């Protein structure tokens, strides 16, 4: 191999090594919150490793290329499955929405909620101006719990089901209550997590875990997690409440670009369920309409 070929081989080898480090680092959220931040780009990192593995093969790094190709297929396949799996049918409709604290199209959002006709609505960033939407929906959703939040507003749960008296409470970035419908009785939690590392998501999760641990029985957990569903922080929350993600995973944050959507809003339920996207309607997040199974 001539000098130029050797240089290309070294360059591709270094690039492949860095891509693998980035990909594997996304599995280390249990060790440090940085791992969860890297998990957001797991799909992109898997594609990068796949492309560089092909390049490494042509550069003569066949053993490294083979191992990297298997790694990319395994990790990328998990992400692809999350986006492709449709989820099972369910019994109750849940409308999940980060409203955006400065929403300028509340009328469209109200119309979309009424058109979807869910039994439960979970909201985040319910600011003072956004309370007008809740007031307008009082006729259809008389049971409403609104909790205080950060400067952008707090979480809320709206429902036309019967609320079990004395079960409503607010927590660190969450609103929760228990509802009863026929023989069914289950918890509903609306959650808004902080941004991930280097911000305070990991600390907030530590505060929320003992709260969710006290909720026994079937549950629905919905909200703006500011994190992908396969990250350690989200898995810890869903595991302690014993809920499963509805499918498929959907790109919901459109604040950067409609072409680059982050899958950071989710709906979980005890027996999973299926979910479809709804419009933005004045927000930088798409809504989710989930059919949850309990």
- Residue 176: pLDDT over 70: yes
Fold assignment, 92-292: Deoxyribonuclease I; Chain A (3.60.10)
Mean pLDDT of 258-285: 95
- Residue 270: pLDDT over 70: yes
Mean pLDDT of 173-197: 96
HSE of 116, CA atoms in CB hemisphere, 13 A: 26
The whole-number pLDDT of residue 2 equals 58
- Residue 259: pLDDT over 90: no
Q: Where are the domains of the chain?
A: 3-84, 92-292
The whole-number pLDDT of residue 60 equals 83
Q: How confident is the model at residue 151 (pLDDT cuts 50, 70, 90)?
A: confident
């Amino acid at each position: 191999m001539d000098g130029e070929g050797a240089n290309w081989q070294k360059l591709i080898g270094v690039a492949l090594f860095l891509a693998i480090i980035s990909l594997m680092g996304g599995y280390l959220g249990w060790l440090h919150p940085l791992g969860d931040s890297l998990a957001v780009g797991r799909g992109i990192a898997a594609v990068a490793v796949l492309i560089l593995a092909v390049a490494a093969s042509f550069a003569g790094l066949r053993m490294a290329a083979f191992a990297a190709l298997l790694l990319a297929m395994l990790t990328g396949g998990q992400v692809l499955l999350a986006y492709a799996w449709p989820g099972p049918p369910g019994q109750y409709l849940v409308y999940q929405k980060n409203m955006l604290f400065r929403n300028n199209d509340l009328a469209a959002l109200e119309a979309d909620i009424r058109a979807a006709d869910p039994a439960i609505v979970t909201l985040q960033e319910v600011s003072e101006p956004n309370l007008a939407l809740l007031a307008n929906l009082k006729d259809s959703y008389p049971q409403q719990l609104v909790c205080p939040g950060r400067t952008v507003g707090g979480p809320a749960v709206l429902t036309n089901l019967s609320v079990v008296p004395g079960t409503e409470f607010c927590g660190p970035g969450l609103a929760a209550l228990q509802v009863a419908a026929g023989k069914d009785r289950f918890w509903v939690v609306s959650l808004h997590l902080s941004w991930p590392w280097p911000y305070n998501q990991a600390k907030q999760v530590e505060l929320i875990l003992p709260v969710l641990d006290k909720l026994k029985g079937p549950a629905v957990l919905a909200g703006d997690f500011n994190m992908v569903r396969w990250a350690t922080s989200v898995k810890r929350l869903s595991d302690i409440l014993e809920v499963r993600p509805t499918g498929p995973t959907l790109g919901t944050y459109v604040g950067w670009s409609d072409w680059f959507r982050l899958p950071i809003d989710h709906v979980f339920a005890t027996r999973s369920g299926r979910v479809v996207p709804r419009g933005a309607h004045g927000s930088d997040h798409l809504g989710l309409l989930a059919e949850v199974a309990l």
